[in-house]
A and B are shown apart, each in its own frame.
Chain A
Amino acid sequence: MTLPLLLARWQFALTTIFHFFFVPVTIGLSVVVATMQTLAYRRKDEQWMRLSRFFGRLFLINLAVGVVTGIVLEFQFGMNWSSYSVFVGNIFGAPLAIEGLLAFFLESTFVGLWVFGRDRLSPRLHLATIWVTSVGTVLSAFFILAANSWMQHPVGYKVEHNKAVLTDFWAVLGNSTLWASFIHTVTAALVTAGALVLGIALWHVRRGEHRAAFVRAAAFAAAFTLVSVLVTSVAGDLQSRLMESQQPMKMAAAEALYNTTDGASFSILTIGNLNGSPVFQIRVPHVLSMIADLSWNGQVQGVNQVQAAEVAKYGKGSYVPVLWVTYWSFRLMVGAGIVLILLSGWGVVLARRKRLDASAWFGRAALAGIALPFLANTSGWIFTEMGRQPWLVYGLMRTVQGVSSTSTADVLTTLIGFVALYSVLGVIDAVLMFRAARRDLDDEAGETIVAPGLVY
């Protein structure tokens, strides 16, 4: 791998991972805040209104960083992956443009109305603005996932004059990979917001501030998180089966399964090397076959067999991803998900028994649990992108073929620039979120101050 390619890959990975720290919070919190404001409006409930504004302040801090880090990504395809852009532009460009036209306009316009229009719009209309903002964020996820899913599982195209040309737009939008990952990603975003609200609300409960309000928020968050993480898991399970048929190497890489096996067991963890003779391993029989094929003795393809098949189909070379990355990222994601199910389940039980404010241990666990969805989101994306390697577009273009011919100096400049800027931004964001989360429920410090207006 050449240095410019390596640098370009690191830059894309880092900028995307950083962006995706903020995106799930944006999507998830928009739903949470909108729901809280709806409860406030419908029930004329003061507490829910204050809660919606409290979490709304967190939403806005997070949104600012999410938006700006997103612009970088749209530009980066052209800047660093120009050969890729030329090859896939006919198909990949459209969802991106549509994301802007449908989703970004909606989200940006209506969030402005929500922030500044509180006193200019009727309560009903003001409520609508946050819901429309939320719809915008979800639409955005749909279209960018349409683009990414096409990279994982190209459909509705033909290759002509060295370019992928669109032959069926509905196929691109109807891609099974898209629908599974859309549900999985959006519900994961809901989990992220739910865990955030749960941890923060219970922190306030333990401090004894506005207990009634924050207990209600925590109870809501526990249920919200539990339902969401269960759906995320089901959608993820669906994706596993699609993966087995659409990208068998990725499935094999998830498990570091070297040889095709019927009735394959699932290894929970491995110490030592992954090549078949580890120092220590915990395995659960048949579970991998259940994941990949929904059958007890189903066949799961192995790395060696898929490698041979792909050599036969595509020519010489290695089609094997970096196995320790795929193996561990997959486990981190699933592991975090399982802990979240247990955590939110525990919360729902406590809420039912009206004992959410009694268990200090649960409160501490919930606070620590805020990190879990971020771990899952990041490792999930690392898994799916690294698991597709060496392919950039599966079966059509390798990553090495897609990079721009920018100089090493230029890419190094931008890589260092983004890392430096994002590090600073990340720290500032964390500090601001931390402060906002710790404020009193009614402390509006830092909220956007709106000057009164005179209408002619």
Chain B
Amino acid sequence: MEPFANLNTAWFALIGVLWAGYLFLEGFDFGVAVVTPFLVRDELDRRLCLNAVGPTWDGNEVWLLVAGGATFAAFPLWYARLFSGFYLALFLILLALIARGVSFEFRDKDPRPAWRSTWDWANFLGSLVPAIVWGVAFTDLVHGLPLGPDGRYTGGLLGLLHPIALLGGVTSLVVFASHGATFLSLKTTGELSERAERAARLLAPVAMAAAAGTFAWVAAAGRPAVPGALPGAVPLVFALVALLALAAHVLLLGRGRQGFAFLATGLAILATMAAVFARMFPAVLASSSVESHTLTIGEASAGHLTLVVMTVVAGIFTPLVLAYQGWTYWVFRARLVRPPVGPADVLRESGGATPTSPAAGPFERPR
């Protein structure tokens, strides 16, 4: 194969990695927000749930911007057709992300319950909607959509809500919820952690069932053959890995191994995205109607120099990003504790003076 064709394929895979990374990271951000209302008993609990994702949610969200930007740079035609075709779906996601994004900052600006409740709702809905819609979108992509010539999708929002895509949306929601609940159990202590773990244990088998259902339906529905497609076994293996990971998740939670359980849902998300991209290859937009309307990697790809530039930049800066994002998680590796007594003000960090000593505050042994 020509080196150039390899670069196209490499970038297709890289974009898959970026979307997968985004859903791995924001998956638990969305999940935490979605389960929080069911787990918190008071303002203190709520504070802990917000702090669990507080330092890192914004950095996680940037993965979406880089995934989108990389799609634009490496496959301009795919970016154009995808983003204009999924117009209203993306609009819903944008509204949700806006509401969620400001809610983190605005929530504490006023002590009134009505104010805080409004932003708590914004945080919840702003996470619920993308958790569903991303699942719908990727299921549509892998199942195929009726496309016009030149890869244009004109079926509107309703056309995206095929039952199989709706099941995909439910699946992503439950998987993210389980992923988030597990993360919360890792990041907190005491009763809140226990409640989170119980929630994860409840959601885990549902996640597995929904995923199995979606995978089976997608496989059964089939799609028009695209020349150069990978053998069906490849996406199938990835899908099976995802299912096994979700099964492992159930087992690991049963054994109280929260850390490994979190890695298991994480693996499930990554493996599912691998299956999605493997099944799409070499199409970027698969047509369920007229076969020739399918948009392929070759047709959508950017020119050679653009891909080379992007490869060099990515090669230099991605390891750097992974390093400092990883470092952030290390800095905030501590489990968050509830002080045993006292009002929420006790949680306030020592203010004013240059912080040369660690925060005063009661520490509680975890149960």
- Residues of chain A touching chain B, judged by Cβ–Cβ distance below 8 Å, are 40-41, 44, 46, 49-50, 53, 60-61, 63-65, 67-69, 71-72, 74-75, 77-80, 82-83, 85-86, 88-94, 96-102, 104-106, 108-113, 115-121, 123, 126, 160, 163, 165-167, 169, 404-406, 410, 413-414, 417, 421, 425, 428, 432, 435-436, 442, 444-456
Contacts of A77 in B (CB 8 A): 72, 83
**B84→A119 contact, CB < 8 A:** no
Closest 3 CB pairs of A and B: A89-B76, A78-B83, A453-B334
Contacts of B64 in A (CB 8 A): 71
Q: Which of A93, A108, A451, A454 contacts B76 (CB 8 A)?
A: A93
Stretch from B135-143, B235-243, B270-278, B350-358 at the A interface: B350-358
**B313→A101 contact, CB < 8 A:** yes
Contacts of A98 in B (CB 8 A): 69, 313
Q: Other than the known A101-B69, A425-B98, A453-B337, what 12 A-B pairs have Cβ atoms closer than 8 Å?
A: A46-B353, A68-B98, A93-B79, A110-B324, A112-B328, A116-B54, A160-B303, A428-B106, A450-B359, A451-B336, A452-B339, A452-B347
Q: Which of A44, A80, A105, A126 contacts B66 (CB 8 A)?
A: A105
Q: Which of B59, B310, B339 contacts A108 (CB 8 A)?
A: B59
**A109→B76 contact, CB < 8 A:** no
- Residues of chain B touching chain A, judged by Cβ–Cβ distance below 8 Å, are 47-48, 51, 54-59, 61-62, 64-66, 68-70, 72-77, 79-84, 87-88, 90-91, 94-95, 97-98, 101-102, 104-106, 108-110, 152, 156, 189, 302-303, 305-306, 309-310, 313-314, 317-318, 321, 324-325, 328, 331-339, 344, 347-356, 358-359, 361-364, 366
Contacts of B55 in A (CB 8 A): 112-113, 115-117
**A446→B354 contact, CB < 8 A:** no
| Shortest beta-carbon distance from B129 to chain A in Å | 13
**B59→A119 contact, CB < 8 A:** no
**A94→B309 contact, CB < 8 A:** yes
| Shortest beta-carbon distance from B154 to chain A in Å | 8
Contacts of B76 in A (CB 8 A): 85-86, 88-90, 93, 163
Instruction: Knowing A49-B354, A86-B77, A101-B318 are in contact, say whether A454-B335 is a contact too (CB < 8 A).
Output: yes
Query: Cα distance A50–B114 when bound, in Å?
Result: 30
Contacts of B356 in A (CB 8 A): 123
Query: Cα distance A75–B69 when bound, in Å?
Result: 9
Query: Cα distance A442–B54 when bound, in Å?
Result: 23
**B354→A101 contact, CB < 8 A:** no
| Shortest beta-carbon distance from B157 to chain A in Å | 9
**A82→B80 contact, CB < 8 A:** yes
30 contacts across the A-B interface (CB closer than 8 A)? A46-B353, A49-B353, A68-B101, A68-B102, A71-B98, A72-B98, A75-B94, A82-B80, A83-B80, A89-B75, A90-B73, A93-B73, A96-B69, A96-B72, A105-B66, A109-B56, A109-B58, A109-B324, A112-B58, A119-B358, A166-B303, A432-B106, A435-B109, A449-B108, A451-B336, A452-B361, A454-B336, A454-B363, A454-B366, A456-B335
Contacts of A167 in B (CB 8 A): 305
Q: Which of A106, A119, A120, A446 contacts B109 (CB 8 A)?
A: A446
**A97→B310 contact, CB < 8 A:** yes
Q: Which of A93, A97, A105, A446 contacts B108 (CB 8 A)?
A: A446
Contacts of B83 in A (CB 8 A): 75, 77-79, 82, 85
Contacts of B70 in A (CB 8 A): 97, 100
B72: nearest residue on chain A (CB-CB)? A93
A91: nearest residue on chain B (CB-CB)? B306
**B74→A93 contact, CB < 8 A:** yes
Consensus secondary structure, chain A interface: helix
| Shortest beta-carbon distance from A423 to chain B in Å | 13
**B72→A97 contact, CB < 8 A:** yes
Q: Which of B56, B75, B306, B337 contacts A451 (CB 8 A)?
A: B337
Which of A160, A421, A454 neighbours the largest number of chain B CB atoms within 10 Å of its CB?
A454
| Shortest beta-carbon distance from A8 to chain B in Å | 11
Contacts of A100 in B (CB 8 A): 62, 65-66, 68-70
B310: nearest residue on chain A (CB-CB)? A94
Contacts of A60 in B (CB 8 A): 105
Query: Cα distance A193–B366 when bound, in Å?
Result: 45
Contacts of B334 in A (CB 8 A): 120, 453-456
Instruction: Knowing A71-B65, A96-B72, A97-B310 are in contact, say whether A452-B98 is a contact too (CB < 8 A).
Output: no
**A119→B355 contact, CB < 8 A:** yes
